[in-house]
Chains A and B, each alone.
Chain A
Amino acid sequence: MNRRQFLSWLRRLAKTAAAGVVGLAGSRWLRAGFLGAEAAPPAQRPIRPPGALPEARFRAACTRCLLCGEVCSAMCIAFPSRIEGSQPPLRRAPGAMERQELAPPVWRGDDTPYILPWKRACNLCMRCGEVCPTGALRPIAVDRQTIAREVRMGVALIDRKVCLPWTRTSWCGACLTACPYRQRAITVDHQGRPTVHPEHCVGCGLCVEVCPLRYKAIAVDPPFAPDRGAVRAE
């Protein structure tokens, strides 16, 4: 290749790069304009399917084949392109004069699988780990004890300022009924007020799905935060 050829190659390369940048930026722009975001209720976060590797390794390993979503018997695995959360309103002082304006957290999906437990929760069938070709989701035996030991999609947290029995609004206990590890992961006291025991909670989110309040009183806190990176060791 002589100098002129090289220069023309460089020029053509630059043209291609420019076209690529315009295409990508344009598609980003279109996506921001036209794709509606998933709205997450306050304090809710997307979680990973069961058996997922720690977040950084998961992103590296997942090849975005969508197989896990196809086989998910609860149809809970989603590939959202954008999720908008909002600030938990109850963390603010009720009568505060100064409203703190906090930007709502936004998670950008990149075609990796998430579970949005306030919409549909995982029923622990463990098909996704079985089908995953890359090992981004580890296969886990379908067995109560194994699942209780191996799966930690997150830990459920109850907001006592919202939960019906805790606010003495009404009787409820829906989360207790839905929990596959009821009386271990969730217990209720003599007034029907639920408590989560993190050492037994697998983070399936079934309690979140059934919580009758629109702004769920219970949320699954994942062992990572998609907007902050890993915050807790698995």
Chain B
Amino acid sequence: MILRGWLSRRRRRWPGGARKVQVLRRTLQLLVLALLFAIPTLSLYDNLRNQRDEVGIQSRWDTRLVHRLVADLEEPKALTQAVRGSVWTFKAGELVISDPLAVVDFVAASRVPWDRFLITALLPVLLSLLLGRVFCGWLCPADLLFELAGKARNWAGIKTDVTFSRGTKTAVLAAGVVAAVILGNQVFAEIYPPRIVGAELYLWITFGTFGAGAWFFLALIAFEIFVSRRFWCRYVCPGGALYALLGRYRLLRLEVDPVACTECRLCNVSCELGLDPMGGRFGQDCNNCGLCVRACGHDALNWRLGLPPSGGVDRLGHPESGVAAATPGEPAP
């Protein structure tokens, strides 16, 4: 309610408030990507500096740049050692945050019920409980690249779209956990795109080579462009499945105003994940990207904070749904 009020007030003041949300989202995504470039460079610089390797620092443009930036600082280490890691495991000072999928993988492979490592996923888990797949839409560096692939797909006018079952990703998650328990080895890390993006950037910047993940990721991008729209996030991603499960009873939901909605389906077309926000069937898969909210030309779609309605979905014109029942002018079925 608060968010909705805030959003609609903003919208009244500046037409296109939902566009501002998109600007914010893109900024965050680009910031994450920039960090994935910056962290390996900073750590490389830090290590070269520890070795007093002036020649090494001067021989690369990126470390030279860092050197020029931090050379005059009182305490350069405070900056160059501030953050480490990637979205898989992020370390800022003493604070360690890791992906819940990493923790699931760790628990399954090492078959321990408790470890200090589990605490590191607390913050993302809490966020997902409240907001659902918010990581997917707002922080995941792979999502940004997949969305770019989607743009390329639209631009090239490719219509082929092979669909699969959306439950498959939950099956992938379950199969991976079973495989990890049996093999005693972690399986998700090598196929999880956000980690792959971070890891490959690290390998490229530090060693000048890519690992196996780069090929996997490129194959995925090609598959998404030519065969199946947003294939990975919609059908396969075990991380997305985990976030969706965590966000089963989340508080941030989309709400359709049945009076304003003209059933033009612009929102459904704009949804990258192929969901049905107009019919209220965005389910657990919605990653809060807000593209549908921006697409709606009638201000009929908005976010709200609250428990899911008793019917399970905020379906447009659904008799059990509190909104629709209380509103006259219910559209004819």
Contact = CB atoms under 8 A, between A and B. Distances in A.
Interface in B104-156: 105-106, 109-111, 115-117, 120
A13 B168 contact: yes
A16 B168 contact: yes
A12 B165 contact: yes
A62 interface: yes
B171 A13 contact: yes
Interface in B36-69: 39-40, 43-44, 47-48, 50-51
Given A61-B110, A70-B85, A70-B202, A24 B171 contact: no
A13 B162 CA distance: 12
Interface string B70-97: 0000000000000011101101000010
B202 A78 contact: no
Contacts of B168: 12-13, 16
Interface string A143-184: 000000000000000000000000000000000000000000
Interface in A1-55: 9, 12-13, 15-16, 19-20, 23-24, 26-28, 30-31, 34-36
A60 B209 contact: no
Interface string A199-216: 000000000000000000
Contacts of A20: 172, 236
A35 B218 CA distance: 14
B199 interface: yes
Nearest to B213: A111
B195 interface: yes
B91 A73 contact: no
A16 B231 CA distance: 9
Contacts of B215: 26-27, 30-31, 34
B203 A15 contact: no
A185 interface: no
Given A131-B84, A135-B117, A69 B190 contact: no
B216 A66 contact: no
A27 B110 CA distance: 27
Contacts of A30: 215, 219
Nearest to B120: A133
Contacts of B191: 24
A75 B40 CA distance: 12
Interface stretch (B6-14, B181-189, B273-281): B181-189
Given A9-B167, A15-B162, A27 B219 contact: yes
B109 A23 contact: no
A230 interface: no
Contacts of B202: 66, 69-70
A64 B164 contact: no
Nearest to B167: A9
Chain A's interface: helix, strand, loop or mixed, by majority? Answer: helix
B219 A60 contact: no
Contacts of A75: 44, 47-48, 51, 206
A12 B171 CA distance: 12
B98 interface: yes
A206 B91 CA distance: 29
Interface string B211-255: 111011001100100011001000110000000000000000000
Interface in A44-100: 56-57, 59-67, 69-75, 78-79, 81
A63 B105 contact: yes
Contact of A67 (B48, B89, B109): B89
B109 A60 contact: yes
A81 B211 contact: yes
B102 interface: yes
A234 interface: no
Contact of B206 (A56, A69, A110): A69
Contacts of B167: 9
B212 A31 contact: yes
B109 A65 contact: no
Contact of B96 (A24, A66, A133): A133
A59 B48 CA distance: 29
Contact of A63 (B98, B198, B207): B98
A35 B40 CA distance: 21
A62 B88 CA distance: 12
**Residue in A36, A56, A109, A134 whose Cβ sees the most chain B Cβ within 10 Å:** A134
A123 B215 CA distance: 33
Given A12-B168, A63-B98, A63-B106, A56 B223 contact: no
17 contacts: A13-B165, A19-B162, A23-B223, A27-B212, A30-B215, A35-B211, A56-B184, A60-B109, A63-B98, A70-B202, A71-B84, A74-B47, A75-B48, A79-B211, A133-B120, A134-B106, A135-B116
Q: Which 7 residue pairs spanning A and B have beta carbons closest together?
A: A65-B89, A64-B189, A12-B165, A27-B216, A60-B110, A70-B43, A30-B215
Interface of B: 39-40, 43-44, 47-48, 50-51, 84-86, 88-89, 91, 96, 98, 102, 105-106, 109-111, 115-117, 120, 162-165, 167-168, 171-172, 184-186, 189-191, 195, 198-199, 202-203, 206-207, 209-213, 215-216, 219-220, 223, 227-228, 231, 235-236
